[in-house]
Amino acid sequence: MRETDKLLYVDGISVSFDGFRALNSLSLMIDDGEMRAIIGPNGAGKTTMMDVITGKTRPDSGEVVFDGRHDLRALDETDIARLGIGRKFQRPTVFENHTVEDNLLLALKGKRRVFDTLFARRATSETTRLKDLLELIGLGTQRGILAGRLSHGQKQWLEIGMLLAQDPKLLLVDEPVAGMTDAETETTAKLLREINKTRSVIVVEHDMNFVRELGVTVTVLHEGSVLAEGSLDQVSANPRVVEVYLGR
């Protein structure tokens, strides 16, 4: 396994589905404390890349190293989550039949084995942490209602809150502002910047205004590999990027 001081080191990963190459020798490096935006047309392989990092999909080849010492290819989703990688799905996924507060409670960092949860009692430290999280994601007044009754945007925030509750080092956030109003999008950008003060974040998003608002390095994916990398202005001036976006 490679020696690296990067928080996330992805090198040359390829993934095929029945002969179709979803990822083609993709490489990506994320520094500790960095926020990175990933853009790319539909089917570029953004979600598949997150699947590989989180252990859902095994790459056919290539290396994925987390925190300089964990070979993620050898671990499953649960192990990787416990190492400190949180993931928000493209389609907001929260526990609809639990209250907002219970959603966060289940996500809170802590023991997760059967006999731990069977006899778990809520600690005061947990109550405090829940209060902070609810405030941060702006759902304090909704704490007691079922997550299924939240609006689409609120569900996205709740899911981000659940990632935070896990206390991860790295957050993978897949299309957080899809279907949000402009005001909600702005709040989300603020939330992610706040989160980025203490953690690394990878955001996949199509919304260019949102990406601009984040003001971070952008990686453009196309047909399973990196097409360009740099500031948003740099990559939007790149003729190959323009071609990929306009050629569709």
Partner 1 sequence: MIVARALFADNRRLVLCIAVVLIAGIGLPLLNLLTPPTSALHVPTYVVQLVGKYLCYALLAVAVDLVWGYCGILTLGHGAFFALGGYAMGMYLMRQIGSRGVYGNPLLPDFMVFLNWKQLPWFWQGFDQFWFAAIMVVLVPGLLALGLGWFAFRSRVTGVYLSIITQAMTFALWLAFFRNDMGFGGNNGMTDFKEILGFSIQSGGTRAALCFASALALALGLVVAASVVGSRFGKVLVGVRDAESRVRFLGYRPENYKLFVFVVSAMLAGVAGALYVPQVGIINPGEFHPANSIEAVIWVAIGGRGTLVGPVLGAVLVNFGKTWLTGALPEVWLFALGALFVFVPMFLPNGVVGLWRSRVKRAPARADKTAPLARPAE
User: Which residues make up the interface to partner 1 (CB under 8 A)?
Assistant: 54, 56, 77-78, 81-82, 86-87, 89, 93-98, 102, 105-107, 112-114, 117-121, 146, 148, 162, 166
Binding residues for Mg ion, per CB under 5 A? 46-47, 90
Between 139 and 160, whose beta carbon lies closer to Mg ion? 160
CA-nearest of 10, 15, 88, 19 to 48 is: 15
Q: Please report how close the Cβ of residue 241 comes to ligand ATP at its closest, in angstroms.
A: 15
Provide the residue type at 105 as one letter.
Answer: L
Between 143 and 193, whose beta carbon lies closer to partner 1? 143
Dihedral, CA atoms, 28, 187, 167, 99, nearest 10 degrees? -130
Query: Binding partner of residue 89 among Mg ion, partner 1, ligand ATP, none, CB under 5 to 8 Å per kind?
Result: partner 1
Proportion of the chain in helix, strand, coil states, percent, rounded to 5: 40, 25, 35
Provide the residue type at 87 as one letter.
Answer: R
Which string of x and - marks every residue 69-108 that binds ligand ATP (by CB under 6 A)?
A: ---------------------x------------------
Where helices occur in the chain by DSSP H, the ranges are: 46-53, 77-83, 100-107, 114-118, 124-136, 152-165, 182-196, 208-214, 232-237, 239-246
Size of the site for ligand ATP (CB under 6 A): 11
Query: Binding partner of residue 119 among ligand ATP, partner 1, Mg ion, none, CB under 5 to 8 Å per kind?
Result: partner 1
Pairing of the two strands 217-222 and 61-66: unpaired
Query: Binding partner of residue 140 among Mg ion, partner 1, ligand ATP, none, CB under 5 to 8 Å per kind?
Result: none
CA 243 to chain centre: 27
* Binding footprint of ligand ATP on the chain (CB under 6 A): 17, 22, 40, 42-48, 90
